[in-house]
A and B are shown apart, each in its own frame.
Chain A
Amino acid sequence: DTGVSQDPRHKITKRGQNVTFRCDPISEHNRLYWYRQTLGQGPEFLTYFQNEAQLEKSRLLSDRFSAERPKGSFSTLEIQRTEQGDSAMYLCASSLAGTSGREGHEQYFGPGTRLTVT
């Protein structure tokens, strides 16, 4: 179990550019989440996958944001035409769905990708 990994750890981009982040979940986990964390705030939910299906998107996920999880393994989060307000830490988490109702609620987080839009 190598944990959740994210790449890159830091990204600086100019306003208007596109950026893409990658998340590799814990290998046997079938659920994958993306959150955004701004300075002084707790993480806020963006979107969630079960296997390759994107099952939920928050209102924070504007049309400029798109996420994919091909083959139900790693996931990518792309932001098009970045704005200064997109500057934040983007966190990925994964969990394992089980047959018991109590399983799958613990989410394990990666180290995050810090995006700075200049």
Chain B
Amino acid sequence: AQSVTQLDSQVPVFEEAPVELRCNYSSSVSVYLFWYVQYPNQGLQLLLKYLSGSTLVKGINGFEAEFNKSQTSFHLRKPSVHISDTAEYFCAVTINQAGTALIFGKGTTLSVSS
């Protein structure tokens, strides 16, 4: 079975500072990895995905993530955050089989202050 661990439940940062949200996964088979963002009282929006190929993937809103197979990690980064990035961020994994469900981590709350 797959599992996802988001190592930080809350990450407070100041505006324009860099941020890294950490995600580790566990799986005995190949996986696909995703980061989603959830604003208050809204559904989840896909930020970026890793399916194959380059281990550095770029997403929307200036976010990027790096897939590290040896460390089973998929950390999310942004070089300079904005107040509007304040939200809940979820890392998710699914196995290499079409139609299977996403397994989510518990989420990381990113709070950006001025």
A residues whose Cβ falls under 8 Å from a Cβ of B = 4, 6, 31, 33, 35, 40-45, 48, 50, 55-56, 58, 91, 93, 97, 101-112, 114
Contacts and interface: CB of A to CB of B under 8 A. Distances in A.
B59 to A, nearest CB: 12
B48 to A, nearest CB: 10
Nearest to A42: B104
B99 A55 contact: yes
A104 B104 contact: no
Contacts of A41: 106-107
Given A91-B44, A97-B99, 13 more contacts: A42-B4, A43-B44, A45-B101, A91-B43, A97-B98, A101-B98, A103-B98, A105-B32, A105-B49, A105-B51, A109-B45, A110-B43, A111-B43
Given A109-B36, A111-B43, A50 B99 contact: yes
B42 interface: yes
Nearest to A97: B98
A43 B102 contact: yes
B102 to A, nearest CB: 6
Chain A CB count within 10 A is highest, among B36, B44, B52, B106, for B44
A58 to B, nearest CB: 7
Given A42-B105, A42-B107, A106-B34, A111 B42 contact: yes
B86 interface: no
Given A33-B101, A40-B106, A102-B52, A109 B34 contact: no
Nearest to A6: B43
Contacts of B94: 105
